[in-house]
C-alpha cells in the first residue's frame, strides 16, 4: 500500500513539473508597430473607414496628395472627432452618399431608383465599389454590394493575386477593394501595387498556402499597413427579400503592427474601424470580432504599396539641380530596441542611357524627399530615385 501511494505521489509530482515547464516563457516578448496611423470612427461602412485609415496614413507618410480636402489644412488627421469628422468624405463624399448610400445594408442604389446617372468617382468608396449594387455574379458570390459593404476577388488556391483588375462577362471593369485602391491611387496621381490573398488560417484553400503571420510581420517591418478582411468561411452570400445574392456579414480592420508574447503566441495589432485604439487579435483565433457581432474569422488580406514619384527637378540660383519626390516614409517602433526607426530610404542615381545597368548612385541613403545634384552633367542624363532600406 505504501509503495503504491509513493508511486502515485512521484507520478503526480512529475506531471506537475511537466506542466510547469511548459508554462515557462520561451523568449522575450516582441512588440512592433507603425507610428502615426489614423484611427477613424466608423462612417458609411467598416471597409470605407479602414481604407480611410490606410490612405490617411500614407497622406501623412510621404504622399501628401492623397488627401487635399479642407480638414486639418489638407493633412489627414489622426482621428475623426470634431473638428475632423468630415475626413470621412475621403472615402464617402457627398456625391457618393447621394448616389449610393441609403441606409446600412440597403440593397439598392439611389441614382438608379431616381432614374439618373451616377457621378464621376471622387472618393475611395467610389473606386472600391463601396455600397454599389452595379454588378452581377461577382466571383459567383455576390450580386453587387450592400450599403456599407465591398468585395474582394481571391485566388482560391491561396496564392497572392497582384494588381488584379476584375471584369464582368462583357469585359467591363468590376471594382473590388484592391483594384479600386489602385485606381483611386492613380486618380490621386500615384502608382502602387496591390494584392489580395486568403489567410493561412482560412480552411477553404490548400493547407500549406495563404498569407501567414510571417508575411504580415514582413509587411509591417517594411513599413506597410495591411487591410484585414473578416468573413465567415462558410458563407459567401446571403439572400435578400428578393432572393438576390448579397454580401454576408463582413468587417475590415487595418493591421498596424504585431505582438509575440513570451510564450510565443502571435497577435496582430489592429485599428478596428471603431476608433477604439490599438487592439491585439490572436492570429490563430477563429473569431476576430467581439462575440456579440457573430462569428467573423480572418478570410484574407489586402496589401497596398504606393510607389515613389518624382515631382520636381528644378535649377537653383547656384546652377545646381534640386530633385524632389513623394514616396513611402514610414516609421516603425520596436520594443526590442525601444526605438522608432525610419524604414524607407532613397538613393538618387544617374545614367547617360536608360539601360538598367548603367545607373550609378550620386547620393548616399537619404531619409528625406529631396536631394541637390551639385555639378550636374553637362550632357543629357537620366536621374531616378530608388527605394531602399536604410
pLDDT digits (tens, 9 = 90+) for 21-59: 455 676 789 999 999 999 999 999 999 999 999 999 999
| End position of a domain, from candidates 248, 282, 306 | 306
- pTM of the entire predicted model: 0.91
- The answer on 364 and 267 residing in a single domain is no
| End position of a domain, from candidates 273, 291, 306 | 306
Segment 69-78 shows an average pLDDT of 97
Q: At 369, which CATH number?
A: 2.60.40
- The answer on 313 and 233 residing in a single domain is no
- For cell 510565443, the residue is 264
Domain with 363 in it: 309-388
Percent of the chain scoring above 90 in pLDDT:
81
CA distance 204 to 220: 26
Contact assessment for residue 322 and residue 374, using Cβ atoms and an 8 Å cutoff: no
Please report, for residues 109, 230, 268, the alpha-carbon distance to residue 214 in angstroms, rounded to integers and kept in the order given. Answer: 41, 19, 11
pLDDT at 23: 55
- The answer on 268 and 329 residing in a single domain is no
CA distance 305 to 44: 25
- The answer on 187 and 257 residing in a single domain is yes
Angle between helices 177-187 and 46-60 (to 10 degrees): 40
- The answer on 201 and 69 residing in a single domain is yes
Q: What are phi and psi of 283, to 5 degrees?
A: -60, -40
- The answer on 162 and 81 residing in a single domain is yes
In a domain? residue 82: yes
The string of pLDDT tens digits covering residues 314-341 is: 988 988 999 999 999 999 999 999 999 9
User: Who wins on pLDDT, 14 or 165?
Assistant: 165
- The answer on 125 and 141 residing in a single domain is yes
- Total structural domains in the chain? 2
pLDDT at 378: 78
The string of pLDDT tens digits covering residues 210-229 is: 999 999 999 999 999 999 99
The string of pLDDT tens digits covering residues 100-158 is: 999 999 999 999 999 999 999 999 999 999 999 999 889 999 999 999 999 999 999 99
Amino acid at each position: 500500500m505504501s509503495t503504491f501511494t509513493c508511486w502515485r505521489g512521484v507520478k503526480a509530482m512529475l506531471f506537475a513539473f511537466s506542466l510547469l515547464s511548459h508554462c515557462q516563457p520561451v523568449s522575450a516578448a516582441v512588440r512592433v508597430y507603425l507610428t502615426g496611423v489614423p484611427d477613424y470612427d466608423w462612417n458609411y461602412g467598416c471597409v470605407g473607414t479602414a481604407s480611410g485609415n490606410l490612405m490617411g496614413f500614407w497622406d501623412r507618410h510621404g504622399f501628401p496628395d492623397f488627401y487635399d480636402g479642407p480638414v486639418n489644412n489638407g493633412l489627414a488627421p489622426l482621428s475623426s472627432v470634431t473638428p475632423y469628422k468630415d475626413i470621412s468624405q475621403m472615402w464617402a463624399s457627398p456625391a457618393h452618399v447621394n448616389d449610393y448610400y441609403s441606409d446600412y445594408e440597403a440593397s439598392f442604389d439611389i441614382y438608379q431608383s431616381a432614374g439618373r446617372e451616377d457621378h464621376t468617382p471622387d472618393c475611395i468608396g467610389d473606386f472600391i465599389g463601396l455600397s454599389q449594387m452595379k454588378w452581377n455574379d461577382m466571383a459567383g458570390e455576390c450580386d453587387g454590394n450592400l450599403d456599407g459593404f465591398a468585395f474582394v476577388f481571391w485566388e482560391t488556391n491561396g496564392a497572392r493575386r497582384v494588381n488584379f483588375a476584375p471584369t464582368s462577362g462583357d469585359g467591363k471593369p468590376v471594382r473590388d477593394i484592391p483594384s479600386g485602391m489602385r485606381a483611386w491611387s492613380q486618380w490621386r496621381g500615384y502608382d502602387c501595387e496591390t494584392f489580395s490573398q486568403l489567410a493561412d488560417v482560412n480552411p477553404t484553400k490548400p493547407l500549406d498556402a495563404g498569407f501567414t503571420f510571417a508575411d504580415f510581420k514582413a509587411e509591417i517591418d517594411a513599413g506597410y499597413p495591411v487591410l484585414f478582411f473578416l468573413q465567415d468561411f462558410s458563407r459567401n452570400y446571403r439572400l435578400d427579400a428578393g432572393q438576390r445574392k448579397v454580401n454576408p456579414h463582413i468587417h475590415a480592420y487595418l493591421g498596424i503592427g504585431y505582438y509575440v508574447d513570451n510564450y510565443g503566441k502571435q497577435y496582430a495589432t489592429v485599428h478596428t474601424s471603431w476608433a477604439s485604439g490599438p487592439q491585439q487579435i490572436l492570429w490563430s483565433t477563429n473569431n476576430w470580432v467581439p462575440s456579440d457581432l457573430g462569428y467573423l474569422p480572418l478570410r484574407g488580406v489586402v496589401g497596398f504599396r504606393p510607389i515613389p514619384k518624382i515631382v520636381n527637378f528644378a535649377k537653383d540660383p547656384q546652377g545646381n539641380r534640386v530633385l524632389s519626390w513623394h514616396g513611402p516614409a514610414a516609421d516603425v517602433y520596436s520594443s526590442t530596441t525601444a526605438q522608432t526607426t525610419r524604414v524607407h530610404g532613397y538613393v538618387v542615381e544617374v545614367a547617360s542611357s536608360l539601360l538598367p545597368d548603367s545607373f550609378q548612385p550620386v547620393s548616399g541613403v537619404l531619409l528625406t524627399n529631396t536631394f541637390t545634384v551639385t555639378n550636374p552633367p553637362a550632357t543629357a542624363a537620366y536621374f531616378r530615385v530608388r527605394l531602399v532600406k536604410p
